[in-house]
Structures are given as structure tokens and as C-alpha cells.
Structure 1
Amino acid sequence: MGVDYYNVLEVGRSASDEEIKKSYRKLAIRWHPDKNPNEKAAAEAKFKEIAEAYDVISDPKKRTIYDQYGEKGLNASCDSQNGPSYGSSGSSTFCFNPRDAEDIFSDFFGSNPFDGSGTFGGSANTFKPKTEGAATSTRLRKAPAVERKIACNLEELYTGTKRKMKISREVRTPNGQTVAEHEILTIEVTPGWRKGTKVTFPEKGNEELNQIPADLVFIIDEKPHEVYKREGNDLVVHQKISLVDALAGTTINLVTLDGRNLVIDMTDVIKPNYEFVIENEGMPIAREPGKKGKLIIKFDVKFPSRLTPEQRAGIRSIFG
């Protein structure tokens, strides 16, 4: 069949007129070259393809021919001497002439995305309407982003997780009515993400007249942990031990954020503010899969508040 216009417009073959208009509205704004200044040529080609698809399947006669004969039916010559024509009715013969993307967009939105030379132009999101006489311009602005926080505990940020967020927003139908739309958005939390990481869903905000819907932005927040404190890619643990353990040695038992039992034998003499570092037991590094930060154990040595004469004598005898 050649180009699959239904696929281009992201609708099914049984799509209603309202579904076709809604999809065209969304895709035409998304792929407007002024919204894609870094990939303008590719966006222009996509924009024209979307317009052609809408031109065909929004027109009952063109859609019928396309459904029966495919693209070749639309492109068949109007002149019978050049071969068979498709879609003829009585003495009249159907002839398909693709409309300009400019005209289709202008008819739909009431504004023209092209500049005076017939090429895509103007600043981002600026469309120039067709006018007679005085020149005027309409600016299609984008609403400010809507931000929401997602609170994650350290275990989720360590191992990664999947969050499903149900959103409700207002969308405009082709006839101008406002209706509520509900959707489930999935957020894949990557191991190692930090507080402040943003996940953006473009144009998932409310739709308003003459305004591009806002982006919906989810911002990762970090819940406090009862054992570990995160410092960048490192994890910090504060461990209290007695003076006897600091001098004679001890064993530290920790449960890691992914549920492993970590046993650490301390044989060094531990002084106040002493730190013990274990490589590759910190947080995963999101941009370097397989790598982790450090686990840092900071010791707080508890000194006795008083000693008996016998204890003092014993200490002196031991340390000379």
C-alpha cells in the first residue's frame, strides 16, 4: 500500500473523525519545524507527511479510495487515456491533489506556520496567520511546566524501581469542548538517580485555547534513611563503639541497601573521628553502570565517664 496514513497519524483504521482530528492536532504541533530548530529538515518532512495523512483520511471520499486501492488509487491519473482511474462516479472522475501542509495547518488552527517566502520560519512557536491587508502575527505560547515530586527511599534509588503515576488533565476536543482525560504514566527509576533528577513527559499538562500544553515534570526526592546517609555517590554510616572495642578490635555488621549482610572485622586501633572506607559498596553511579561509590564508616568512640582506682592501675600496667 506504500505509505500507511493511519500509522502516520497514530490511529486505527476504524478511527472516528474526532479521533483523527485530535491526533492531527497533537502531532502537527509536536512536529512543527519551529518547535524543532535543531532538526528542522527532518521535522519539516514529518510535518508534511502528517498533513498529507490527515488530508486523506479526514476526507470521506479520499479515505474510501485509499482503503480500497491504497496509495496507488489516490495517485491514479484523472485522464482515462493514461490508464484506469479510481473512484469515478458517473461522468465525473476523482483526482487526488495533495494539499499543502501550510493550508491544512492554517485551516485547522487558524494560523500559518510558514513565513512569507513559503518556507518554515519565524522564532520558535511563532505562527503567522494568513491575512489580507495589514500584517498581523499570533504567538502560540507554551504553558509553564508543571512539577511534581516523587519521594523515593534509598533502597529504591540503590536498586532501581518502577513507578506508575495516574494523572488527570483537561484536553480540548476538535469542536472546542474541554473534557477530562486520565492516563497512567510509567517512570523507570534508574539505580543511582539522585535527589533532583527530573523526568519530563512533554505536553502532558492541561490543554487551553491558543496555548501549547505544559510539560509534566516529575522530580526525584530522597527520603531520610535510619542507617545510611548519602553523600554524592558515597554512603556514610556513623558507628558508635566503646573504648574497649576501639582498642581491642571489634566486628561491625551492616545490612546493605540491597539486603546483603556485610561483616567487617576491625583490627586497627580506632581513634576518635577515625574513618574506614570500603570501595564499591556505595551508591550505584547512574552514568557508569557497574560502578559504585564508597561506603564510609565514621566511628564515634564512647569514653567511660569514670574509672575505679583498680581500672586506672590496670590500664597503666598494660600500657606501661
Structure 2
Amino acid sequence: MANKNFYDILNVRKDASPDEIKRAFRNLAKQYHPDKNPAPDAKEKFAQLKEAHDVLSNPTKRHEYDEAKRRGYNYSSDDNTSMPNTEHFRDFFEHLFPGFADDFTRSGTHERFSENMRKSNSNSFRAREQSKEQNSSRNVEYDRTGFRFGPSKRKPDWTQNSSFCSSFDSDDEPNISTKRCRSEPSKNSNTTSSGSSLPKDAAIEKHLEVTLEDISTGNLRKLKIKRKIFDERGNYTVEEKLIEITIKPGWKAGTKVTFPGLGDKHPGREPADITFIIKDKQHALFSRDSDNNLLHTANVSLKKALLGVSYCIQGLNGKRHDINIRDIVHPGYIKRYTGEGLPLPKTPSKSGDLIVTFNIQFPSYLSWDQRRVLSDCLPN
């Protein structure tokens, strides 16, 4: 990340304290972590934030970075080597050796040095030498040119470390720390809505029977659920929770209501969601179809079907419907009352119809006299 200002990347001052740097990184990491931010440049931005944090949070690296920027060098955190910027190289040597710049340019050394610098930038190495001057010893870094760039301490090579990870806390689950490692991506895990990368079981589905009266007017259902909280040894405690489900007028059978994370809790796993699926409770008089029409079957005798039907039915809303039919009622005869059914889910102000279907009950036995009378009365 040569020529980039780590302080600007983290949006902190140059004299920012370690706590301010850490706090700035955590806030920006939450915003740009690829698991939480789908933007195409989020991954690159997060990598920049991580590199800036690694350098500025380490006192030694931060000192080397500040010194390199002050002298106009390019700083590379990949190998912790600060290389002089060839644009400032002449000024650097002119300060040390007056008259060097002219000879440097005439001899073509500038071009050869620039080429060597470009090559060494991709294949730099360190030489450590023990100095015994002034009865003290310290580690000194050199580059290929043999020029000393200041004291350093040996630091782990993070580019070779398989356990190099990034860590931050989730906004929705403050007690869960999310970790991602470069060489060890999470296995068998699904990213949850809270941003956690812990593995999670499939949702637990339960049927919830509701009455047609509830579907007609709406209702609030309160349910008590229990779940087990397991510890590392397999022991568990039982937790009870009261939940509420607001049943809206017109809800269709099959409607799902999900409560995230209310399943049993195991160490290292996200609790499963619990999903309630609406199911119609059997009614003594009515059922409904997919269009929220209220259906009723009226059983009438053969005599009434032939001579006339008087029938009374009371709807879910308490409204009474008197049915008087003087025509002959044949099997499958239907009487429809517009707008007397159940509310429509998308437009609760409108309702389906009440549909009454007649079922003719034929006698199971007729005497010979009855047959003779019917034979004389009924047409062929």
C-alpha cells in the first residue's frame, strides 16, 4: 500500500492514541466487512483498513512508518521495509554529500538505481548485524544498497502466518465475536441476519391452528415457548419465553411467522429460528377456499328439495341469513351472498362471498305404497 496515508484511511489524527486508532478501526471494520457490506469495493476497503490498523497499532511499525513518510520514502507493510522514493533520492544524497546530484545524474546511476529499486521492491530482504560500538548492541536494518534505515526489532511475518485473522463485534449480537481467517474460511456455516458466521440449524416449523373467527376479525395470540440452553459439558437449563403473534384479518392458511434465534442454544452454534405456519382450525359450519370465500353445506331432505326450502344460517359476524327457495333444489344447487365471506388479505376492507351449497338427502327406504304414489306423481 505504497504512498497511501494510513491516518487518512482510518480517519484519525497523526497524534491519535492507540485507543483512538483501535476504536476507529472497529467502527470502520463493521461498516466495510465483506460479510456485512455487499459493495464491490468493500473487500478492498476492508483490506486497507486492516493494513493501516496493523501498522499504526504497533508502536515499532508506526515509528518506522512515520519516519519513512517524513523522509519521503515509500512504506510497504508486506515486508516491513521502508524504501526511498527515487523521486527524492537525489535530494537525500545531496544533503549528505554536496555535489552528489550532478555526478549522480551524469553517470546514469539514477536510472540504474531506479531499476534496482523496482526489482528489490518485489524481492527485498533483511540483513541483521550486531554492532559493538560504544559498548552497546542493537539490531539494524539494511537494504541492498547497504544504507542503514534505522533500528528495528524482529517481528512476525504476518504474510506467512496461517492464523492471521480479523475480528470485530456484531452490532446485533454484542456478545458474539466474529472471526475470519485468510487461510481458514469457515466451514459448514451460514451467515445470519445478525452478521455472525457461526453455523446455524434449519428453522423449526410448527403449525398454529387459528379459528375462522380470528381470520375474520383478527386477534392477538400469546404463546409460551421453552428452549434448552446447553453449556460446554452438555448440561442445560430450560428457558421460557412469552411471545405474541398478531393475527391479521384475512391471513391465508400457510402464512408463516418467524421468530429468529429462539431454538435450543448450543455452544459455537447460532440458535435456530422458529417458524409458525398458520393452519385453519376445523369449524362446525364453515370452511374457506383460496379466495377467502366462506363455504357452507346445507343438507335438505328430498321432500324439501322438491316442495320448497326454508333455511337459516348465521355468519361469522353474527349476521343472520334466511334462505327461502320455492324452486326445486337440485344436487349442487348454490346460493351466493356477495361480500359476506372473509376479508381479503391484501385489501381487508373487502371480503369474499358466502357460498351455500345444497346437499340433497335421499331416503334410504321406500315402501311399495310410497313408490306407487311417487310413480303416479312424478314425471317419467
TM-score (norm 2): 0.46
Q: Equivalent residue for 1:83?
A: none
Amino acid corresponding to residue 234 of structure 1 in structure 2: N
Which one-letter code corresponds to 1:112 in the other structure?
A: K
Which structure has the higher relative contact order (CA within 8 Å, separation 6+)? 1
**Aligned to 1:125, which of 191, 196, 211?**
191
Listed as ranges, the matches of 1:85-104 within 5 Å are 103-104=167-168
1:3-24 deviations in Å (ceiling 9; x for gaps): xxxxxxxxxxxxxxxxxxxxxx
* Structure 1 residue runs of 4 or more that deviate by more than 6 Å after TM superposition: none
How much does 1:248 deviate? 3.5
Q: Note the residue ranges of structure 2 that are not aligned, 5 or more in a row.
A: 1-29, 43-165, 184-188
Q: SS of the residue aligned with 2:215?
A: helix
For 2:344 and 2:334, locate their aligned partners in 1 and report how far apart those are by CA, in whole Å: 22
Q: Could you tell me how far 1:153 is from its partner in structure 2?
A: 2.5
Displacement of 1:159 after TM fit?
A: 2.4
* Partner in structure 1 of residue 198 of structure 2: 140
Deviation readout 1:113-155 (Å, 9 max, x if unpaired): 6989xxxxxx9629xxxxxxxxxxx952222212222222222
Q: Aligned pair 1:34/2:35, yes or no?
A: yes
Is residue 333 of structure 2 the alignment partner of residue 261 of structure 1?
Answer: no
State the shift of 1:273 in Å.
2.0
The DSSP-based 3-state class of the residue aligned with 1:246 is helix
Q: What SS class does the counterpart of residue 213 from structure 2 fall into?
A: helix
Q: Percent identity?
A: 33
1:8-23 aligned at under 5 Å gives the runs none
TM-superposition CA deviations, 1:140-184 (whole Å, max 9, x none)? 2222212222222222222222111112234589xxx96543221
TM-aligned CA deviation for residue 208 of structure 1:
2.2
1:264-318 deviation line (CA, Å, top 9, x unaligned): 22233311222222222222221221222222222122345435488448736xx
For 1:188, give the aligned amino acid. T
Report if the CA contact (8 A) 1:105-1:113 is conserved.
no
**TM-score normalised per structure 1:** 0.53
Query: How many equivalent residue pairs?
Result: 209
Residues 255 and 262, structure 1, Cα contact 8 Å, conserved in 2: yes
Matching residue's letter, 1:167: I
2:352 paired residue number = 293
Unaligned runs of 5+ in 1: 1-28, 42-101, 117-122, 127-137
1:142 aligned counterpart, secondary structure: coil
**Distance across 2 between alignment mates of 1:148 and 1:270:** 43
Aligned equivalent of 2:111: none
1:37 Cα deviation after fit: 5.4
Q: Whole-Å Cα distance in 2 between the matches of residues 222 and 302 of structure 1?
A: 28
Aligned in 2, Cα 1:267/1:290: closer, same or farther, shift over 3 Å? farther
Question: Cα 1:36–1:205, aligned 2, differ >3 Å: closer, same or farther?
Answer: farther
For residues 66-86 of structure 1, the C-alpha deviation after alignment (integer angstroms, 9 at most, x for no partner) is xxxxxxxxxxxxxxxxxxxxx
Are residues 1:252 and 2:253 paired?
no
* 1:34 aligned counterpart, secondary structure: coil
For 1:191, what is the secondary structure of its paired residue? coil
Counterpart in 2 of 1:315? 377
Q: In 1, are the aligned partners of 2:168 and 2:178 still within 8 Å (CA)? A: no
Equivalents in 2 of 1:310, 1:124: separation in Å? 78
1:105 aligns with 2:106: no
| Root-mean-square deviation over aligned CA pairs | 4.1
Give 2:191's aligned amino acid. Answer: N
Residue in 2 that maps onto 1:275: 334
Q: For the residues of structure 1 that align with 2:168 and 2:182, how far apart are their CA atoms?
A: 15
Specify which of 144, 149, 153 is matched with residue 207 of structure 2. 149
Structure-2 residue corresponding to 1:84:
none
Distance 1:112 1:295 in 2: 58
Residue of structure 2 in register with 1:220 after alignment: 278
Distance in 1 between the 2:228 and 2:36 partners? Answer: 22
CA contact (8 A) 1:37 1:124 kept: no
CA 1:209–1:264: 2 relative to 1, 3 Å: same
Q: Hey, what does 2:227 align to over in structure 1?
A: 169
- Please say if residues 280 and 293 of structure 1, whose CA atoms lie closer than 8 Å, have aligned partners that are also in contact: yes
- C-alpha contact 2:208 2:279 (8 A) present in aligned 1: yes
Give, in whole Å, the separation in 2 of the partners of 1:109 and 1:172: 16
